[in-house]
Amino acid sequence: MMMSLLGLMMFLIGNMIFVSKHKHLLIVLMSLEFIVLSIFFFLMLYLMMIEYNMYMLMVFLVFSVCEGALGLSILVSMIRTHGNDYFQSFNLI
């Protein structure tokens, strides 16, 4: 019970950071990775509870690593073209 409460708190804190801190792209990407980590934690607890094999955790971990690498490559590309990672310095439209 305490572990699921800890996972819920992680998820809520990650969402609060994602909503409130949107000045830098790096902070947004880190909050998204924190949310993915909390979802991984929930999935691990659920699969341990139903005594299922952990193959799905490995698939989820692979996709989350690919998502993180894609986010970092976009961040590096934006810093090279615009000089910083502020959302206000480039037009998204």
Digit-coded pLDDT (tens) for 3-13:
888 888 888 98
- Judged against a pLDDT cut of 60, whether residue 93 lies above it is answered with no
Q: How many domains does the chain have?
A: 1
Integer angstrom CA distances of residue 34 from 63, 66, 75: 14, 15, 17
Taking the C-alpha atoms of residue 38 and residue 19, their distance in angstroms, rounded to an integer, is 16
CATH number of the domain enclosing 49: 1.10.287.3510
Residue 19 near residue 35 (C-beta atoms within 8 A): no
Digit-coded pLDDT (tens) for 21-75:
778 888 888 888 999 999 998 888 888 888 888 888 899 999 999 999 999 998 8
Prediction pTM value: 0.81
User: According to the model, what pLDDT value does residue 62 have?
Assistant: 92
Domain that holds residue 3: 1-89
